[in-house]
Amino acid sequence: MLFVSAVLALFLSSCQSNTSKDAAKGSTSGLEEKVGQMLLLGFRGMAVDENSPIVQHIKAGRVGSVILFDYDVVNGEAVRNIESPEQVKALVDSLQAHAPSPLFVGIDQEGGKVLRLKPQYGFPQIPSAQYLGDLNNLDSTRYYAGLNARTMAGLGINLNFAPVVDLDLEKETGVIGRLERSFSEDPELITLHARAVIDAHLENGVIPVLKHFPGHGSARDDSHQGMTDVTDTWSDDELEPYRRILGQGYKGAIMTAHVFNRRLDEAYPATLSPRTISILRDEMGYEGVIFSDDMQMKAIASEYGLEDAIIRCINAGVDVLCFGNNLSYDEQIPEKFQAIVLKAVEDGRIKPARIEEAYTRVMRLKGQLTEEGSN
């Protein structure tokens, strides 16, 4: 981690200088590299080498972040990226060694039923948010959050899509409630336990990602499977954990939900909605990185074409678009993503300033790894 931190420090210094010069000139030089930092990609392989597609994408600067899974949904088998602690560490080290700038290496390691680093692979058991919320003992939450964060940090995983701060409002049928992913239906209790998880992550050099903005806990449908409308079930209380956590000086990232809420935007789901994301940016004053949920989930993929979804997502204010490459698999996503974004900039459908803004946020967040890695 010290090597990665040193490299990142030098790289960030150079990037900040170049970005300032480009902005002053109104230039799009280096645009490909900046667009690459806006893509998070899933891939296949327990190990990689020079010939691996993911390595080729990383070396070409088309991918700035990756995500690890233990199960390949398309193939229907537990053969993807995770087999043992030693194997995962070697995989992550190899990915970073091929990267022109350090990667975000992400994972969905919430605990309970959403756990990629499972005991069967040699990792510790981490209980669900629901279990910890029902127990309501902050010392227990701190203990397991610390154990989880140290495990990830020891592997080189530096980004976790957790904690979930959705309210537990649809306990039986919702994708949050029935999988025990929420601490509680009480925003105050969620805030307390999420804060413990956030602190443990940051103390161990892992960036936490709050999800799913502006609230997925009242959804009765699963956005993995199709359009999810929460217009009649969502309430403003679902924003409260974000208000409280951001008010405490939050230093992590946030992920959007693919939920459709006519009360916030009559036309688009949150991930593609400038109106919804403006709640974070303008009303709550959040200046950090916003990740999309998986763009291959059917709530997006079945309703919008790839080009339309990407352009709308970026213009809505999302900084990093996630393609888990696990609900469907396409090794050409990085080329397609870059071609779509560059053409949209050329045509005036995406402003260069929007790319600069996202790139600056991503590199600033990566800069936190330098600070934490040197401690």
The one catalytic residue among 72, 98, 199, 224 = 224
The one catalytic residue among 108, 293, 294, 319 = 293
Whether 57 is a known active-site residue: answer no
26 contacts 352 by C-beta, under 8 angstroms: yes
18 contacts 363 by C-beta, under 8 angstroms: no
Helix axes 352-373, 333-347, angle to 10 degrees: 130
Helix, strand, coil percentages, rounded to 5, for the chain: 45, 10, 40
The whole-angstrom separation of Cα 177 and Cα 170 is 6
Whether 134 is a known active-site residue: answer no
Question: H/E element holding 147?
Answer: helix 138-155
The whole-angstrom separation of Cα 90 and Cα 40 is 20
Closest among 162, 155, 181 to 83, alpha carbons compared: 155
Is the previous residue joined to 127 through a cis bond, with omega within 30 degrees of 0? no
Q: Active-site residues: which are they?
A: 224, 293
